[in-house]
Amino acid sequence: MTDFIEAFHTALRLIATLDPDLLGIVLLSLRVSLTAVAIASLIGFPLGAALAVYRFPGRGTLSAIVNALMGLPPVVAGLFIYLLLSNTGPLGVLQLLYTPTAMIIAQVVIVIPIVGALTRQACEDLLEEYDEQLRSLGASPTAIAFTLLWDGRYRLLTAVLAGFGRAIAEVGAVMIVGGNIDHVTRTMTTAIALETSKGNITLALALGIVLLVIAFAVNAALMGVRRFALRFAYA
Protein backbone atom coordinates (compact mmCIF):
# COMPACT_ATOMS: atom_id res chain seq x y z
CA MET A 1 0.00 0.00 0.00
CA THR A 2 2.85 2.39 0.83
CA ASP A 3 4.36 1.46 -2.54
CA PHE A 4 1.16 2.52 -4.18
CA ILE A 5 0.97 5.83 -2.36
CA GLU A 6 4.60 6.50 -3.18
CA ALA A 7 4.02 5.67 -6.84
CA PHE A 8 1.03 7.95 -6.81
CA HIS A 9 3.12 10.81 -5.41
CA THR A 10 5.83 10.28 -8.00
CA ALA A 11 3.20 10.18 -10.72
CA LEU A 12 1.77 13.48 -9.59
CA ARG A 13 5.28 14.94 -9.50
CA LEU A 14 5.86 13.77 -13.11
CA ILE A 15 2.73 15.61 -14.12
CA ALA A 16 3.48 18.72 -12.08
CA THR A 17 7.02 19.03 -13.44
CA LEU A 18 5.86 18.35 -16.99
CA ASP A 19 8.24 15.44 -17.38
CA PRO A 20 9.48 15.48 -21.02
CA ASP A 21 8.79 11.77 -21.63
CA LEU A 22 5.32 12.07 -20.20
CA LEU A 23 4.63 15.26 -22.10
CA GLY A 24 5.83 13.74 -25.37
CA ILE A 25 3.49 10.79 -25.00
CA VAL A 26 0.50 12.96 -24.05
CA LEU A 27 1.08 15.36 -26.94
CA LEU A 28 1.45 12.54 -29.46
CA SER A 29 -1.77 10.96 -28.22
CA LEU A 30 -3.61 14.25 -28.51
CA ARG A 31 -2.18 14.95 -31.96
CA VAL A 32 -3.16 11.52 -33.28
CA SER A 33 -6.66 11.47 -31.81
CA LEU A 34 -7.53 15.10 -32.57
CA THR A 35 -6.39 14.72 -36.17
CA ALA A 36 -8.31 11.47 -36.51
CA VAL A 37 -11.46 13.03 -35.09
CA ALA A 38 -11.15 16.05 -37.38
CA ILE A 39 -10.84 13.85 -40.47
CA ALA A 40 -13.56 11.48 -39.30
CA SER A 41 -15.91 14.44 -38.75
CA LEU A 42 -15.27 15.78 -42.25
CA ILE A 43 -16.41 12.38 -43.53
CA GLY A 44 -18.99 11.53 -40.87
CA PHE A 45 -21.03 14.77 -41.06
CA PRO A 46 -21.87 14.55 -44.77
CA LEU A 47 -22.29 10.77 -44.49
CA GLY A 48 -24.77 11.09 -41.64
CA ALA A 49 -26.67 13.97 -43.26
CA ALA A 50 -26.84 12.11 -46.58
CA LEU A 51 -28.21 9.00 -44.86
CA ALA A 52 -30.88 11.14 -43.21
CA VAL A 53 -31.93 13.16 -46.26
CA TYR A 54 -31.41 11.22 -49.48
CA ARG A 55 -33.58 8.31 -50.50
CA PHE A 56 -31.59 5.71 -52.40
CA PRO A 57 -31.56 1.93 -52.66
CA GLY A 58 -29.54 0.35 -49.87
CA ARG A 59 -29.97 3.34 -47.57
CA GLY A 60 -31.39 1.23 -44.74
CA THR A 61 -28.63 -1.33 -45.04
CA LEU A 62 -25.94 1.34 -45.07
CA SER A 63 -27.45 2.97 -41.97
CA ALA A 64 -27.50 -0.39 -40.21
CA ILE A 65 -23.86 -1.02 -41.14
CA VAL A 66 -22.76 2.39 -39.87
CA ASN A 67 -24.68 1.79 -36.65
CA ALA A 68 -23.13 -1.64 -36.20
CA LEU A 69 -19.64 -0.30 -36.85
CA MET A 70 -20.05 2.05 -33.88
CA GLY A 71 -19.21 -1.01 -31.82
CA LEU A 72 -16.25 -2.02 -33.97
CA PRO A 73 -13.55 -3.37 -31.61
CA PRO A 74 -10.44 -1.20 -32.01
CA VAL A 75 -8.20 -4.28 -32.32
CA VAL A 76 -10.20 -5.39 -35.34
CA ALA A 77 -9.91 -1.94 -36.90
CA GLY A 78 -6.18 -2.11 -36.13
CA LEU A 79 -5.83 -5.52 -37.70
CA PHE A 80 -7.66 -4.34 -40.82
CA ILE A 81 -5.44 -1.28 -41.24
CA TYR A 82 -2.37 -3.40 -40.46
CA LEU A 83 -3.23 -5.74 -43.33
CA LEU A 84 -3.70 -2.77 -45.64
CA LEU A 85 -0.45 -1.07 -44.68
CA SER A 86 1.87 -4.05 -44.15
CA ASN A 87 4.63 -4.56 -46.70
CA THR A 88 2.66 -7.22 -48.50
CA GLY A 89 -0.63 -5.29 -48.25
CA PRO A 90 -2.22 -3.17 -51.00
CA LEU A 91 -0.94 0.06 -49.46
CA GLY A 92 2.41 -1.39 -48.36
CA VAL A 93 4.39 0.81 -50.73
CA LEU A 94 3.42 3.85 -48.69
CA GLN A 95 5.56 2.52 -45.82
CA LEU A 96 3.13 3.91 -43.26
CA LEU A 97 3.09 1.04 -40.79
CA TYR A 98 4.45 1.98 -37.35
CA THR A 99 4.02 5.72 -37.97
CA PRO A 100 1.65 8.20 -36.34
CA THR A 101 -0.10 8.44 -39.73
CA ALA A 102 -1.02 4.76 -39.51
CA MET A 103 -2.47 5.36 -36.05
CA ILE A 104 -4.48 8.31 -37.35
CA ILE A 105 -5.88 6.18 -40.19
CA ALA A 106 -6.89 3.42 -37.77
CA GLN A 107 -8.62 5.88 -35.44
CA VAL A 108 -10.38 7.56 -38.36
CA VAL A 109 -11.88 4.16 -39.16
CA ILE A 110 -13.01 3.77 -35.56
CA VAL A 111 -14.48 7.27 -35.24
CA ILE A 112 -16.30 7.65 -38.61
CA PRO A 113 -19.15 5.30 -37.62
CA ILE A 114 -19.59 7.10 -34.29
CA VAL A 115 -19.77 10.56 -35.83
CA GLY A 116 -21.71 9.28 -38.84
CA ALA A 117 -24.38 7.42 -36.88
CA LEU A 118 -24.87 10.20 -34.32
CA THR A 119 -25.06 12.77 -37.13
CA ARG A 120 -27.65 10.71 -38.98
CA GLN A 121 -29.75 10.43 -35.83
CA ALA A 122 -29.51 14.16 -35.14
CA CYS A 123 -30.42 15.04 -38.72
CA GLU A 124 -33.32 12.58 -38.84
CA ASP A 125 -34.78 14.01 -35.64
CA LEU A 126 -34.55 17.54 -37.03
CA LEU A 127 -35.90 16.52 -40.42
CA GLU A 128 -39.05 15.18 -38.84
CA GLU A 129 -39.81 18.69 -37.67
CA TYR A 130 -38.36 20.65 -40.62
CA ASP A 131 -39.27 18.54 -43.65
CA GLU A 132 -42.46 20.25 -44.83
CA GLN A 133 -41.27 23.72 -43.95
CA LEU A 134 -37.99 23.30 -45.83
CA ARG A 135 -39.69 21.79 -48.84
CA SER A 136 -42.20 24.65 -48.77
CA LEU A 137 -39.26 27.05 -48.87
CA GLY A 138 -38.04 25.25 -51.97
CA ALA A 139 -34.94 23.63 -50.49
CA SER A 140 -33.19 20.98 -52.56
CA PRO A 141 -32.09 17.80 -50.75
CA THR A 142 -28.54 19.14 -50.58
CA ALA A 143 -29.75 22.45 -49.14
CA ILE A 144 -31.83 20.48 -46.64
CA ALA A 145 -28.77 18.47 -45.61
CA PHE A 146 -26.71 21.60 -45.00
CA THR A 147 -29.57 23.22 -43.09
CA LEU A 148 -29.85 20.16 -40.85
CA LEU A 149 -26.10 20.04 -40.23
CA TRP A 150 -26.06 23.67 -39.14
CA ASP A 151 -29.20 23.46 -37.02
CA GLY A 152 -27.89 20.26 -35.45
CA ARG A 153 -24.53 21.83 -34.70
CA TYR A 154 -24.67 21.32 -30.96
CA ARG A 155 -25.59 17.70 -31.30
CA LEU A 156 -22.82 17.27 -33.86
CA LEU A 157 -20.43 18.76 -31.35
CA THR A 158 -21.45 16.13 -28.84
CA ALA A 159 -20.92 13.48 -31.54
CA VAL A 160 -17.40 14.80 -32.08
CA LEU A 161 -16.68 14.72 -28.37
CA ALA A 162 -17.97 11.16 -28.15
CA GLY A 163 -15.69 10.21 -31.05
CA PHE A 164 -12.73 11.87 -29.37
CA GLY A 165 -13.43 10.11 -26.11
CA ARG A 166 -13.39 6.80 -27.92
CA ALA A 167 -10.21 7.57 -29.89
CA ILE A 168 -8.11 8.85 -27.02
CA ALA A 169 -9.02 5.86 -24.86
CA GLU A 170 -8.56 3.03 -27.35
CA VAL A 171 -5.45 0.91 -27.17
CA GLY A 172 -5.92 -1.98 -29.58
CA ALA A 173 -5.67 -0.16 -32.91
CA VAL A 174 -2.75 2.15 -32.11
CA MET A 175 -0.86 -0.77 -30.58
CA ILE A 176 -1.15 -2.88 -33.70
CA VAL A 177 -0.48 -0.27 -36.38
CA GLY A 178 1.76 2.01 -34.29
CA GLY A 179 3.89 -0.61 -32.60
CA ASN A 180 4.38 1.42 -29.40
CA ILE A 181 7.81 2.69 -30.46
CA ASP A 182 9.35 4.99 -27.85
CA HIS A 183 9.22 8.65 -28.89
CA VAL A 184 7.62 7.73 -32.22
CA THR A 185 4.32 5.96 -31.80
CA ARG A 186 3.99 5.59 -28.05
CA THR A 187 0.61 6.90 -26.93
CA MET A 188 -0.86 7.15 -23.46
CA THR A 189 -2.78 3.92 -23.70
CA THR A 190 0.00 1.83 -25.23
CA ALA A 191 2.50 3.28 -22.76
CA ILE A 192 0.26 2.36 -19.85
CA ALA A 193 -0.03 -1.18 -21.16
CA LEU A 194 3.74 -1.50 -21.67
CA GLU A 195 4.94 0.25 -18.50
CA THR A 196 2.54 -1.72 -16.35
CA SER A 197 3.79 -5.00 -17.72
CA LYS A 198 7.38 -3.80 -17.21
CA GLY A 199 6.57 -2.96 -13.60
CA ASN A 200 7.08 0.79 -14.10
CA ILE A 201 3.90 1.70 -12.33
CA THR A 202 4.82 5.37 -11.85
CA LEU A 203 4.71 6.46 -15.50
CA ALA A 204 1.66 4.26 -16.13
CA LEU A 205 -0.12 5.83 -13.20
CA ALA A 206 0.77 9.36 -14.28
CA LEU A 207 -0.56 8.66 -17.77
CA GLY A 208 -3.64 7.06 -16.29
CA ILE A 209 -4.35 10.21 -14.30
CA VAL A 210 -3.92 12.37 -17.40
CA LEU A 211 -6.30 10.12 -19.36
CA LEU A 212 -8.82 10.28 -16.56
CA VAL A 213 -8.62 14.08 -16.49
CA ILE A 214 -9.16 14.18 -20.25
CA ALA A 215 -12.16 11.87 -19.94
CA PHE A 216 -13.65 14.12 -17.26
CA ALA A 217 -12.95 17.21 -19.36
CA VAL A 218 -14.67 15.66 -22.38
CA ASN A 219 -17.69 14.80 -20.27
CA ALA A 220 -17.83 18.25 -18.76
CA ALA A 221 -17.64 19.74 -22.23
CA LEU A 222 -20.49 17.47 -23.36
CA MET A 223 -22.67 18.62 -20.49
CA GLY A 224 -21.70 22.23 -21.07
CA VAL A 225 -22.63 22.05 -24.75
CA ARG A 226 -25.98 20.49 -23.91
CA ARG A 227 -26.80 23.07 -21.28
CA PHE A 228 -25.79 25.92 -23.56
CA ALA A 229 -27.89 24.56 -26.42
CA LEU A 230 -30.92 24.03 -24.20
CA ARG A 231 -30.73 27.53 -22.85
CA PHE A 232 -31.10 28.98 -26.33
CA ALA A 233 -33.59 26.31 -27.37
CA TYR A 234 -31.10 25.07 -29.93
CA ALA A 235 -31.07 21.49 -28.69
Partner 1 sequence: MLDPTKSPGAFDTAPDRSQTLLPLELRRLTYEASGKRVIDDLDLKLAEPGITAIMGPNGAGKSVLLRLMHGLITPASGEILWAGRRMDRALALRQAMVFQKPVLLRRSVAANIWHALGLRGIDRSKRAIRVDDALRLAGLEDLAAMPARVLSGGEQQRLSLARALSLEPEILLLDEPTASVDPASTLAIEQLLIESRHSGIKIIIVTHDIGQARRLAQDVVFLHHGQVIEHEPAKHFFTEPRSEAARSFLAGDLVL
Q: Which residues bind partner 1 (CB under 8 A)?
A: 129-130, 132-139, 143, 147, 150-153, 232-234
Q: Please report how close the Cβ of residue 164 comes to partner 1 at its closest, in angstroms.
A: 23
Q: How far is the CB of 143 from partner 1 (least distance, A)?
A: 6
Q: Cα separations (Å) of 129 from 77, 132, 151, 175?
A: 36, 8, 12, 44
Give Rg (Cα) of the chain.
21
Task: Between 148 and 168, name the residue whose CB sits nearer to partner 1.
Answer: 148
| Least Å from the CB of residue 57 to partner 1 | 21
Residues 109 and 77 sit within 8 Å (Cβ to Cβ):
yes
CB atoms within 10 A of CB 79: 16
Work out how close the CB of 72 gets to partner 1 at its nearest, in angstroms, rounded to a whole number. 31
Local structure of 212: helix, strand or coil: helix
Compare residues 78 and 152 and give the one whose CB is closer to partner 1.
Answer: 152
Closer residue to partner 1 (CB): 56 or 232: 232
Residue closer to partner 1, measured from CB, 124 or 151:
151
Collapsing DSSP states into helix, strand and coil, what is residue 95? coil
